[in-house]
């Protein structure tokens, strides 16, 4: 009895000490918060009332808040009343704009994904393009939400947006017309393959009812003949609702499997998400397509499938956004979007780049941590999701961009179709590239290069400081050589131009369903997915090396 009494007393003292320590720590934290708020309030009052010039208290406070939040990750932002209304517009899936999703890459605002079929995508904007300015307003220092707000407006109004493409290291300006943006969860779904034995679903985002819509499509595929595999296209899908991503995974993975964990500073922000419903298609072979425009919920789906060796991932590295935000309402109809935790997928890795600001390439691969999938394959953290089968991305050239910006493909193909009386099923002429090239040369098509700007500067200097005819003659020779170089670029990029002409021909001559079918037949990533699914040995070799 004495021993039991002593033990009880010891346990009580231990519990009391632990509670006391926790209380002291908590009390100390709240004391520090109170102390610092008092100091800040004093400084704010003095500056607002005593500074030599009048200062708007609202502007001063917003600057103070933004400066504080800039020391954290870029996704923790203050949302004032006007921005909150814009966020509601964007989340509704219907708004006036150019069809882009913006995000951070380091301290720069980049395009996560242009929405297919809308002004930004049609003009040639791509995932990873750095946004420099919108309507001559520099975006450096802004949040993605603020930049997104600049792009919104009534359908039919014009917008000028300047981007920098890292592969070209050039600033490029686009003049676009806003359109009514309507974003569906499923962009396109159909049977594909030589015998229509594979299902194809292109998910544009993870909105309400996404998982249920996918489930219905899967049932349609299984009831319409042979269904031997699925191509899930998550390219340019910027994410959305986590619960929809989890519910989608549930359709393909047996119950009781942990698929996503969120871990944060507070226990309240920690959670574990486990598959719960019987898998409808547990053994169905899957190929998932991703690219740099696949972010957040898209990366979770791709990463979970990869970690569980449940699908072959094909394409390019994903965007890399593994932070969880929640919106906390504040006074006067404002709010704070704050990062509260990180996502972790089954292998234990995070999809967030090693730096919270989302920057890449600043740490060598040797410092990235290795993890293992269910079958023992080695995967790494810190750089989004790396595909199992890497596919080359789109080529970047000033020629390609100039052709896209000036709508050369559209107008040329449109003229050819008009000449043939606009027959909807007219076959694409074999000599289309030749005729296109001839039209470019005859019309004096050109595109600006850094050399053009240097020659212009030289010519200006010659006109101002020299009257020598020989100098002007040499300059004209250089211009002629540059013209020849630009023409040679057309022939050097024949494969790319022919591919774009083929896409434009299909787009203008076929109805929506037949157009989508035809475009999939020339999509290298889709063709690679079909090849992988149709070869069980190749499929299993990826998942069980």
List the catalytic residue out of 233, 307, 381, 523.
307
Nearest to 335 by CA among 82, 96, 516: 82
H/E run at residue 189:
strand 186-192
CB–CB of 298/513 below 8 Å? no
Nearest to 351 by CA among 373, 374, 320: 320
Distance separating alpha carbons of residues 456 and 476, to the nearest angstrom: 11
SS3 31: helix
The structure tokens listed for 490 are 């057309």
CB–CB of 373/302 below 8 Å? no
Nearest to 108 by CA among 78, 73, 143, 77: 143
Nearest to 247 by CA among 286, 277, 287: 277
- The number of CA neighbours under 13 Å toward the Cβ of 63 is 9
List the catalytic residue out of 143, 294, 296, 341.
296
307 a catalytic residue: yes
Distance separating alpha carbons of residues 351 and 371, to the nearest angstrom: 12
Distance separating alpha carbons of residues 262 and 166, to the nearest angstrom: 33
The two counts, helices (H) then strands (E), for the chain are: 17, 21
List the catalytic residue out of 143, 250, 321, 486.
321
421 a catalytic residue: no
SS3 406: coil
42 a catalytic residue: no
Active-site amino acid positions? 296, 307, 321
């Amino acid at each position: 009895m004495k021993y039991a009494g002593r033990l009880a007393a010891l346990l009580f003292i231990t519990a009391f000490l632990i509670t006391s320590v926790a209380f002291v720590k908590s009390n100390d934290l709240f004391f520090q918060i109170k102390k610092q708020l008092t100091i800040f309030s004093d400084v704010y009052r003095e500056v607002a009332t005593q500074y030599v010039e009048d200062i708007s208290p609202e502007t001063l406070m917003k600057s103070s808040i933004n400066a504080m939040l800039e020391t954290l990750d870029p996704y923790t932002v203050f949302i004032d009343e006007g921005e909150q209304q814009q966020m509601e517009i964007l989340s509704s899936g219907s708004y006036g704009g150019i069809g882009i999703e913006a995000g951070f890459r380091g301290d720069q605002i980049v395009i996560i994904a242009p929405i297919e079929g809308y002004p930004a995508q049609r003009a040639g904007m791509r995932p990873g393009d750095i946004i420099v300015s919108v309507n001559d307003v520099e975006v450096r220092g802004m949040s993605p939400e603020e930049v997104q707000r600049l792009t919104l407006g009534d359908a039919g109004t014009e917008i000028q947006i300047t981007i920098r493409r890292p592969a070209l290291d050039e600033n490029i300006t686009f003049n676009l017309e806003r359109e009514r943006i309507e974003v569906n969860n499923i962009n396109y779904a159909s049977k594909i393959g030589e015998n229509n034995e594979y299902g194809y679903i292109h998910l544009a985002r993870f909105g309400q009812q996404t998982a249920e819509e996918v489930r219905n499509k899967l049932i349609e595929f299984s009831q319409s003949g042979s269904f031997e595999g699925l191509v899930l296209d998550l390219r340019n899908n910027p994410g959305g609702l986590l619960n929809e991503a989890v519910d989608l995974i549930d359709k393909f993975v047996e119950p009781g499997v942990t698929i996503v964990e969120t871990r944060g500073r507070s226990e309240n922000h920690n959670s574990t998400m486990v598959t719960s419903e019987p898998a409808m298609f547990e053994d169905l072979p899957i190929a998932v397509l991703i690219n740099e425009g696949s972010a957040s919920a898209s990366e979770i789906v791709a990463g979970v499938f990869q970690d569980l060796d449940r699908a072959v991932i094909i394409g390019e590295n994903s965007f890399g956004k593994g932070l969880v935000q929640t919106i906390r309402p504040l006074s006067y109809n404002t709010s704070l979007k704050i990062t509260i935790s990180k996502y972790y997928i089954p292998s234990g890795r995070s999809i967030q780049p090693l730096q919270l600001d989302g920057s890449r390439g600043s740490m060598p691969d040797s410092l990235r941590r290795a993890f293992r999938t269910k079958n023992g394959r080695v995967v790494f953290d810190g750089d989004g999701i790396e595909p199992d089968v890497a596919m080359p991305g789109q080529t970047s050239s000033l020629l390609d961009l100039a052709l896209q910006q000036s709508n050369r493909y559209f107008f040329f193909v449109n003229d050819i179709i008009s000449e043939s009386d606009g027959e909807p099923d007219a076959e694409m002429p074999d000599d289309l590239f030749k005729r296109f090239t001839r039209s470019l040369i005859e019309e004096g098509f050109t595109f600006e290069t850094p050399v053009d700007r240097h020659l212009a500067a030289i010519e200006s200097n010659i006109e101002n400081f020299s009257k020598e005819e020989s100098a002007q003659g040499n300059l004209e020779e250089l211009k002629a050589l540059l013209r020849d170089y630009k023409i040679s670029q057309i022939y050097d990029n024949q494969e790319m131009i022919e591919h774009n002409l083929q896409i434009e021909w299909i787009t203008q001559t076929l109805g929506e369903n037949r157009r989508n079918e035809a475009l999939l037949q020339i999509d290298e990533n889709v063709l690679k997915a079909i090849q992988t699914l149709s070869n069980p040995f190749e499929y299993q070799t990826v998942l069980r090396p």
